[in-house]
Amino acid sequence: MFGIWLMLHVDRARLAARLSEMAMVGATGRGGVHRLALSDADRQARDLLDAWCRQKGFSLEVDTVGNMFASRTGRSSEAPPLLIGSHLDSQPNAGAYDGPVGVLCALEVLESLDDLDVETRQPVQVVNWTNEEGARFRPPLLASGVFAGIYDAEFALNCRDVEGIRFGDELQRIGYAGPRQPGWPISGYIEVHIEQGTVLEATGAVVGVVTGVVGIRDLQVTVVGEDTHAGPLDMRSRRDALLGAAEMIVAANALGLEHAPDSRVTVGRIAVPSDSHSVVPGLAEFTLDLRHPESNGLDSLEKAARERFQRIAHDRNLELRFKQMFEYPPVAFDISLRDEIRSAALGLGHPALDLPSRAGHDAWNMARVAPAAMIFIPCRDGISHNEREFAEFEHIVAAADVLLNTVASVTKSR
Amino acid sequence: MFGIWLMLHVDRARLAARLSEMAMVGATGRGGVHRLALSDADRQARDLLDAWCRQKGFSLEVDTVGNMFASRTGRSSEAPPLLIGSHLDSQPNAGAYDGPVGVLCALEVLESLDDLDVETRQPVQVVNWTNEEGARFRPPLLASGVFAGIYDAEFALNCRDVEGIRFGDELQRIGYAGPRQPGWPISGYIEVHIEQGTVLEATGAVVGVVTGVVGIRDLQVTVVGEDTHAGPLDMRSRRDALLGAAEMIVAANALGLEHAPDSRVTVGRIAVPSDSHSVVPGLAEFTLDLRHPESNGLDSLEKAARERFQRIAHDRNLELRFKQMFEYPPVAFDISLRDEIRSAALGLGHPALDLPSRAGHDAWNMARVAPAAMIFIPCRDGISHNEREFAEFEHIVAAADVLLNTVASVTKSR
């Protein structure tokens, strides 16, 4: 435990400058960024991080799936490093906070350790994970998944975007296909991230101590009817797949609300291949994203969705297919790291609150291989994946300070 | 009136051969065709029609928007020609009957007039209209609309497909930008087409005498909410544009059913730009296609749709925008041509039935400038704009025979 007089502080001005410079990379002009994984904008963001790290003399390494690591040496050359960081890629036309705030707070901590002459036992590494969002290459959390041994590097390199462009080819093109095999031992992982919800805001807490991540299960739902002309056929004889899908979307939302407050049910993508104003759609495909803190909660949401959709399909003379796209089981974060984060927040005088994450994060993958934890920053109106995403600079500084003190504490000799 | 012993007949074998050869152009391999306007497949279909016409010595002309005309001279060189035909372009992955059957029945009639030494007063012209479907270049019925003076040729030439490719450039590319100004005087227009509904099939009629075309009004509906992350935000705080659109699609269908049997209400296209499994969509756009035999029926459908959508938008804290894309007012076909068609059907011994068309056709545009009429062919299960579209060959022959006798009758000297 620190007393308040012993707490460390980051360099606010430097952090502010880096946040604004990074927000200009892939800026949409409306306060957001459009920085899809392995795009030219992603390359620019990486180049900027690289330049900052080199300036400070931190050694930089890139692994074979493009994850970037900047290291500050520790007293012991054998102790596995403590990893801190997040991601620089974004959703399409998204905010400037989701991801970069975690990478730049981590970099700020690395620099502050230098400035404050803090010696750590093990090395501390700042990481920028490739393709966290999964907006361009499915699945999300891809390259941290490779680091954690969930996927082979080959799997990631062979992923393709909607235009058929290969992850591995894009990685080569932007110059971030590194030599190092991902997956070396680490002593822990801590990630700063915006909450993307309203829990902290509603309670007035400044620092979120994340207890774990809810489980997420993603399904692809295909509704099959019959393409027909919009005019001549009697409306009662139609087998309208989009109409069926619309009823399912309404049913999915009702299902989520019935299982509030733990559940989230979302339809985020829909495709109607016939795509003509005068064709009654014979095929509609949509995604179904289920979130719940318990595995059996996911099972029960899926079961209920299948039953309701099946009833709709039956009533409308439609066929229905389900395909599971990916699943992240619920995880709990490391108790001892959570205690360290809470102590740091209290020591700094910031009101802290325990809460679960309902979004997937790279920390989820890391929790499989090392003690992991996250620090949440309040986020205005809970809006994220949107250009209007916003976090108070004071709250970002608070998270950086908490991370700095947590890192200093857990890397002390003991 | 003909007696049954005087009726003319087309060459069944030739018609069968031409239908199958044309169905191979742009064939999908599953019984349908994919022959979008001004595509390479459309060019091949045009080349085939051109070759058949040249073989028989019919003079061929192409106008500046790509409409093709094959002429057989009449006794009088001054009388405006009688136009017969339809279109060779198709919807995506559609049937082989919607369009080509009308062009090939018309060509068969031209050849049969030769074979049977029938002299006509005015010239008879077979027409293949460009971009009837509107699947590639909006609006549909584009080049017949230019011929009828509804659009300028420049308007058509500057239309662009979703990839931004210009109609005029594609027309040049496939070699069908002709020299003739569209819009010369004609004495009438008759089009053979599949019904695309089940009225003829249900009643056992073989020949449909089309009374007119219902009005069609197309709107673009934009639903605006807020892009947010699928996980953290409370589901009740969402402003989910796709959920609102889904409720509107369900409401639109209910509206159409309430106004049965005259109305058709269809949502055929939907787009969700955020397009991510983990983003609650903040924007959804869809088309609303309204069909009704009366103009005030269209008004009342649109009014009801706007009211219901507005209520849904209000309840879900969404904004709503409507944009009218195009409108075709209802038209009635020429009484005297309808009588001729009915007489020919009766003379040939084919059960005939009067019915309206609920789909747009080039005859709709032609009805503005000349006496126009249509002959419908029964179509299995009413399925159209689908690879499973099917019409009995016997029914196609019946329509060709009816067209032949109708043309012979209306072009007699009198």
Query: Quick one: pLDDT at residue A228?
Result: 87
* Overall average pLDDT of the A161-178 stretch: 97
**Partner residue facing A234 (CB), from B198, B214, B240:** B198
Q: Which amino acid is at B132?
A: E
Give which of A224, A411, A186 is closest to A321, Cα–Cα: A224
CA dihedral B404, B406, B410, B414 (to 10 degrees): 90
B70: tokens are 């094959």
In terms of DSSP bridges, do strands A319-328 and A352-357 run parallel, antiparallel, or are they unpaired? unpaired
Chain-chain contact of A245 with B243 (C-beta, under 8 angstroms)? no
With cut-offs at 50, 70 and 90, classify the pLDDT of residue A283.
Answer: very high
pLDDT digits (tens, 9 = 90+) for A22-61: 999 999 999 999 999 999 999 999 999 999 999 999 999 9
**Distances in Å between the alpha carbon of A177 and those of A62, A141, A242, B111?**
7, 17, 42, 67
Other C-beta atoms lying within 10 Å of the C-beta of residue A285: 18
Chain-chain contact of A289 with B278 (C-beta, under 8 angstroms)? yes
Query: Quick one: pLDDT at residue B385?
Result: 85
pLDDT above 90 as % of chain A: 89
Q: Measured between CA atoms, how close is A137 to chain B, in angstroms?
A: 11
Query: Quick one: pLDDT at residue B64?
Result: 98
Mean pLDDT across chain A: 95
Chain-chain contact of A91 with B279 (C-beta, under 8 angstroms)? yes
Give CA angle at B321 (B316, B326), nearest 5°.
140
Tell me which H or E stretch contains B224: strand B215-224
Helix (H/G/I), strand (E/B), else coil: B347: helix
Distance CA A91, CA A83 (A): 24
Query: Quick one: pLDDT at residue B262?
Result: 87
Q: Which residue of A has its CA nearest to B252?
A: A243
Residues 6+ apart with CB under 8 A from B5: none
* Overall average pLDDT of the A109-128 stretch: 97
Distance CA B402, CA B349 (A): 10
Long-range contacts of B163-172 (CB under 8 A, 24+ apart): B167/B38, B167/B65, B167/B131, B167/B137, B167/B142, B170/B38, B170/B39, B171/B38, B171/B65, B171/B66, B171/B130
Beta bridge partners of B289: B218, B266
**Partner residue facing B279 (CB), from A227, A232, A268:** A268
Is the CB of residue B147 less than 8 Å from the CB of residue B67? yes
Q: Measured between CA atoms, how close is B197 to chain A, in angstroms?
A: 4
Phi, psi of A60 (to 5 degrees): -115, 135
Tell me which H or E stretch contains A52: helix A40-55
Chain-chain contact of A197 with B388 (C-beta, under 8 angstroms)? no
pLDDT above 70 as % of chain A: 98
Which residues numbered 312-351 in A keep a CB inside 8 Å of some CB on B? 325
The answer to whether B224 contacts chain A (CB < 8 Å) is: no
Query: Quick one: pLDDT at residue B384?
Result: 87
Query: Quick one: pLDDT at residue B303?
Result: 98
Chain-chain contact of B229 with A291 (C-beta, under 8 angstroms)? no
Chain-chain contact of A268 with B280 (C-beta, under 8 angstroms)? yes
Distance CA B183, CA B165 (A): 26
**Partner residue facing A197 (CB), from B233, B263, B382:** B233
Q: Which residue of B has its CA nearest to A246?
A: B246
pTM of the predicted structure, to 2 decimals: 0.76
A89: tokens are 């890629």
Is the CB of residue B101 less than 8 Å from the CB of residue B128? no
Is the CB of residue A360 less than 8 Å from the CB of residue A195? no
Chain-chain contact of A140 with B278 (C-beta, under 8 angstroms)? yes
The answer to whether B44 contacts chain A (CB < 8 Å) is: no
Strand residue runs (E) in A94-231:
124-129, 188-194, 207-213, 215-224, 228-229
Query: Quick one: pLDDT at residue B6?
Result: 83
Chain-chain contact of A383 with B233 (C-beta, under 8 angstroms)? yes
Query: Quick one: pLDDT at residue A368?
Result: 93
Task: List, for chain B, all residue ranges whose pLDDT scores fall below the cut of 50.
Answer: 1-4, 414
Judge residue B256's burial from the number of C-beta atoms within 10 Å of its C-beta, 0-12 exposed, 13-18 middle, 19 or more buried. Answer: buried
Q: Which residue of B has its CA nearest to A252?
A: B243
- Does A2 score more than 70 pLDDT? no
**Partner residue facing A231 (CB), from B237, B257, B358:** B358
Q: Which residue of B has its CA nearest to A255?
A: B235
Distance CA B69, CA B186 (A): 12
* Overall average pLDDT of the A224-252 stretch: 94
Residues of A with Cβ-Cβ distance to B236 under 8 angstroms: 257, 260
Q: Which of A266, A291, A328, A358 to mutate to test binding with chain B, by most B CBs within 10 Å of its CB?
A: A266
- Does A229 score more than 90 pLDDT? no
Give which of A392, A89, A208 is closest to B232, Cα–Cα: A208
Question: What ipTM was reported for this prediction?
Answer: 0.77
The answer to whether B203 contacts chain A (CB < 8 Å) is: no
**Partner residue facing A227 (CB), from B243, B277, B386:** B386
The answer to whether A214 contacts chain B (CB < 8 Å) is: yes
Distance CA B396, CA B64 (A): 31
pLDDT digits (tens, 9 = 90+) for A309-365: 999 999 999 999 999 998 989 999 999 999 999 999 999 999 999 999 998 899 999
Give which of A113, A105, A100, A122 is closest to A48, Cα–Cα: A100
The answer to whether B243 contacts chain A (CB < 8 Å) is: yes
Q: Which residue of A has its CA nearest to B293?
A: A231
Query: Quick one: pLDDT at residue A261?
Result: 84
**Partner residue facing A253 (CB), from B227, B243, B249:** B243
